[in-house]
Amino acid sequence: MQGLRVVDLSDDVAGAYATRWLAALGADVVKVEPPEGDQTRRLGPRRVDSGETSALFAYLNTGKRSVVLDPSDDDDRARLISLLERADVVVETGAPGAWAERGIDLDGIREAHPTQVVCSITPFGQTGP
């Protein structure tokens, strides 16, 4: 998987675990986090009241590079779109349409880059409840 560029937009265990394996197999994985941090940073186990990142977050994100980008900020949104346009694989776990609501057109980016793979992991598919 050397040379494979992956953007991890996930904010849960399923997406982070999938991209963890891609990183372990040699892909260049970039984890994109919001300013408040990925929600798995706050899940246990960790020392109580330590403020430390959880062991789960550390395990799921081993071998990845990380960047903090806020899609509501114009400059950050432009950086994120640039990152996505250069990716071979994008993994996201948002609800259907969630990225479009933030000004990120994953379908449009994929259409402009037909070899790009976008993996959307949701509990109920793209049309469920």
Instruction: Dump pLDDT digits (tens) for 80-95.
Output: 999 999 999 999 998 8
Output phi, psi for 5, to 5 deg: -100, 120
Domains and their CATH numbers in the chain = 5-120 (3.40.50.10540)
| pLDDT 10s digits, 63-119 | 999 999 999 999 999 999 999 999 999 999 988 888 888 889 988 998 999 999 999
The helix (run of H) or strand (run of E) holding residue 78 is helix 74-85
Alpha carbon distance 21, 35 (integer Å): 25
Q: Does residue 23 register a pLDDT over 70?
A: yes
pTM: 0.89
Query: What pLDDT is stored for residue 73 in this prediction?
Result: 95
* Cα angle 113-125-21, degrees, rounded to a multiple of 5: 65
Q: Does residue 49 register a pLDDT over 70?
A: no
